[in-house]
Amino acid sequence: MRKTLVISGGTRGIGKAIVEEFASNGVDIAFTYNSNSEIAENIVAELSEKFGGKYKAYQFDILQPETYKELFKKIDEDFERVDYFVSNAIISGRSVVGGFGPFMRLKPKGLLNIYTATVVSFITGAQEAAKRMEKVGGGSIISLSSTGNLVFTPNYTGHGNSKAAVETVVKYASQELGEKGIRVNAVSGGPIDTDALKKFPNYEEVKGEVVKRSPLSRMGLPDDLSGITYFLTTEKASWITGQTFIVDGGTTFA
């Protein structure tokens, strides 16, 4: 029987790369998008033509994590099971104003939005996914993270502390869900060249620094994270849980 992935934020960057990776490995996929339904439906059509599985897109606002319950009810109507959950969606633009900036300019609303999108949404999404996974004998839950909680990144206090928090939640969740056959891990990327990163006002500076620091002399790409994300859902990773895997081109140590 084909297995099913649920992933938040599957239309761009890292999320899209993960969707394509799982689809290429015969996994059915329910993915969310924020606002552009046309892009989402185009991806569904492309995946269906290329891989022949079942794919469906759902509108979802990551800043309203309580609506995960309704989202999963819709997914239940369209898919027979849930085996994997990847929390990937992030926020940018106006919603991070006050959360992305120098320490002395940080404001509660922006900080809370980042924490909600990163930590609270992971918890609520994972809770709903775990209920479904328990019914099919187990599964795998993964949160995307970043090395911004390990390496100083200008203006990244709000994001960095939330990434550190979600990695701690991963450890706790792995302890409590293990008896249900559910493994929980995080994949932490160094700066990955995506549209979201390009929105950073210091994008060129960040890119130059990453290329200089990495012994591989390049920026990370979305495909650099999709493979390990898929691997962590397979039987070859069956004794891996509660861990954070750093994929950074060697930049954290440099």
Other residues' Cβ atoms within 10 Å of the Cβ of residue 166:
25
Task: Read off the pLDDT of residues 12-66 as tens digits, 9 standing for 90 and up.
Answer: 999 999 999 999 999 999 999 999 999 999 999 999 999 999 999 999 999 999 9
Overall average pLDDT of the 132-159 stretch: 96
Supply the mean pLDDT for the chain. Answer: 96
Confidence grade of residue 5 (pLDDT, cut at 50, 70, 90): very high
Query: What percentage of the chain exceeds 70 in pLDDT?
Result: 100
CA separation for the pair 138, 143 (Å, rounded):
17
Other CB atoms within 10 A of residue 201 CB: 11
The mean pLDDT of 145-149, rounded to a whole number, is: 96
- Environment class of residue 57 by beta-carbon count within 10 Å: exposed (0-12), middle (13-18) or buried (19+)? buried
Q: Residue 8 in contact with residue 14, Cβ under 8 Å? A: no
pLDDT in tens, 85-131: 999 999 988 999 999 999 999 999 999 999 999 999 999 999 999 99
Domain residue ranges of the chain, discontinuous segments joined by +: 4-247
Q: Catalytic residue among 156, 171, 230, 236, which?
A: 156
Buried b (16+ CB within 10 A) or exposed e, 58-89: bebbbbebeebeebbeebeeebebbbbbbbbb
How would you class 11 by CB atoms within 10 Å of its CB: exposed for 0-12, middle for 13-18, buried for 19 or more?
buried
Does 68 participate in catalysis according to the annotation? no
Assign domain 4-247 one CATH number from 3.60.150.10, 3.90.1010.10, 3.40.50.720, 3.20.20.140.
Answer: 3.40.50.720
The full 3-state SS of the chain, as one line of letters, equals CCCEEEEECCCCHHHHHHHHHHHHCCCEEEEEECCCHHHHHHHHHHHHHHHCCCEEEEECCCCCHHHHHHHHHHHHHHCCCCCEEEECCCCCHHHHCCCCCCHHHCCHHHHHHHHHHHHHHHHHHHHHHHHHHHHCCCEEEEEEEEHHHCCCCCCCHHHHHHHHHHHHHHHHHHHHHHHHCEEEEEEEECCECCHHHHCCCCHHHHHHHHHHHCCCCCCECCHHHHHHHHHCCCHHHCCCCCCEEEECCCCCCC
**Nearest Cα to Cα of residue 149 among 129, 170, 130:** 170
Catalytic residue from among 3, 163, 172, 203: 163
Q: Which residue has the tokens 């200089």?
A: 212
Q: Assign 254 a pLDDT band (cuts: 50, 70, 90).
A: confident
Q: Is 163 a catalytic residue?
A: yes
